[in-house]
Amino acid sequence: MTVHLSRRTLLGLVGAGAGAYLVSACSDGGSDNAGGPQAINWWHIQNTEPMLPVWAAMAQEYQGAHSDVTIEIQPLENEAFKAKLTTATQAGSPPDLFQSWGGGVLKQQVDAGLVKDITDEVRPWIGGLLPAAVQPYTIDDRIYGVPFDVGMIGFWYNKDLFARAGVSAVPTSWAGVLDTVRKLKGAGIVPVALAGKDKWPAHYYWAYLAMRIGGLDALRQAAKDKNFDTPDFVAAGERLKELVDLQPFQRGFLGAEYGSADGQAATMGNGGAAMELMGQWAPSVQASSSTSKKGIGDKLGFFPFPAVDGGKGSASDAFGGGNGFAVGKDAPASTVDFLKFLLTADNQRRAAKTGAVLPTVKDAADAISDPNQKIVAENLAKASGFQLYLDQAYPPAVGQQINDSVAELIAGTKTPAQIVKDITQVAKSQ
């Protein structure tokens, strides 16, 4: 996150047009909005194939039936979106419809009066969505956003590179992950692709290790007590350092972004690394970032983050989240109706068929045809518990500190014991 998801969704790629553009109305039919012309300012992060044209087409279709509505779309790369949204919200002028991962960031926007309570407007149709997907957008039993995508973080791996290194089965323990890394290195293969510059991808490792070692209760307790300086969180850092000490990442990883031409996704899509820890959007971003624009195809596999020996957490607990949209405080009346249109079962099927979206509408599950998305959906369906990305679940300042601190751990500038003190200090200040 941050993904984000994160974070997490199809994360946008640098290079696609990020300027605002208008999708003009294509019908002279009457409008059902008696209040005169309405312009909806829509910011989203699907700024590349395959979802960029899908969203544009849906906006045009909506306008075909609502001639007084104009939808101004601004597709933005993930990091650029967060920076621009921060500026807009600090000025008290959020966009009408904008990307949200829910959780602590959305709560802060709610507390600041920046987003609309849409509970009553969505009540007739929100029941058609997966309850777990709606949860991050529900604050004090009121709904402030709607998810269009849901999924989890896990390991994506290159089956051919595993076979070349003599790895015959995916690891089922953290010790097994480390052994796999050693075998890959021994075969002259880069084990892990990582976007060190973007920071949020690295936080997935520390978060999952904390979940597996301390359990979901440890994460909830830390939020309640505003204290991460506990043995379980220190141990998560120590286990992560075991990986870092093996030097598993691609050359130049500390300066690598997630979606750029030489970034984490492209490294995987071009066959330059054997694994990445990423969300359900990974295959589509690998493909669109790769030189072939196809990625590695059926060589790609997925396995869930494994257990940690002696840990209190369940290996079936999932970590992740989805993508959704929140509605700005000054949004025109038709905004929620447009959101409803995006979330019809047919439109969710269209999104799912791209392979970039795992639908939240129950009736659209039949459209999941991509085998990689099916395996994520199956793992998610079996999940015994669920944790939202930490950089979204916690207050924004805490989430940012987690990302910064994990980056410092990976760069070797801070120890596992130091980073939990830094995170706790920020948590206490909130």
- The pLDDT tens digits for 153-174 are 999 999 999 999 999 999 999 9
The whole-angstrom separation of Cα 404 and Cα 279 is 20
pLDDT for residue 6: 32
Residue 138 has pLDDT above 90, yes or no: yes
Over residues 317-334, the mean pLDDT reads 95
Is the pLDDT reported for residue 49 higher than 90?
no
* 360: its two tokens: 């939240």
Residue-wise pLDDT for 338-394, tens only, equals 999 999 999 999 999 988 899 999 999 999 988 888 889 888 888 888 899 999 999
pLDDT at 94 over 90: yes
Taking 50 as the threshold, does the pLDDT of residue 136 lie above it? yes
Percent of the chain clearing pLDDT 70 (strictly above): 92
Structure confidence at residue 132 (pLDDT): 82
Q: Give the model confidence (pLDDT) of 400-426 as tens digits.
A: 999 999 999 999 999 999 999 999 999
Please name every residue paired with 249 in a beta bridge, in sequence order, or none if there are none: 192
Backbone phi and psi for residue 209, each to the nearest 5 degrees, phi listed first: -65, -40
At 9 the pLDDT is 29
Convert the pLDDT of each residue in 253-287 to its tens digit. 999 999 999 999 999 999 999 999 999 889 989 99
Mean pLDDT of 134-153: 95
Residues contacting 69, CB < 8 A, separation 6+: 25, 31, 33, 37, 38, 39, 40, 62, 63, 332, 334, 338
**Predicted confidence band of residue 35 (pLDDT cuts 50, 70, 90):** low
- Is residue 11 helix, strand or coil? coil
Answer yes or no: is pLDDT of 24 > 90: no
CB 145 within 8 A of CB 327: yes
Residue 210 has pLDDT above 50, yes or no: yes
Q: Kindly state which CATH superfamily the domain 21-151+321-381 is placed in.
A: Periplasmic binding protein-like II (3.40.190.10)
Q: DSSP states of 170-226 as a string?
A: --SBHHHHHHHHHHHHHTT---B---TTT-HHHHHHHHHHHHHHH-HHHHHHHHHHT
Higher-pLDDT residue of 182 and 17 is 182
Mean pLDDT of the chain: 90
Considering only CA atoms, give the Rg of the chain. 21
Intervals of CATH 3.40.190.10 along the chain: 21-151+321-381, 154-318+390-429
Q: Tell me the CATH class for 154-318+390-429.
A: alpha beta
Q: How confident is the model at residue 56 (pLDDT cuts 50, 70, 90)?
A: very high
pLDDT beyond 50 at 1: no
* pLDDT at 330 exceeding the cut of 60: yes
Q: What is the pLDDT of residue 50?
A: 87
Compute the distance between CA of residue 194 and CA of residue 192 in angstroms, rounded to an integer. Answer: 6
The yes-or-no verdict on residue 200 having pLDDT over 60 is yes
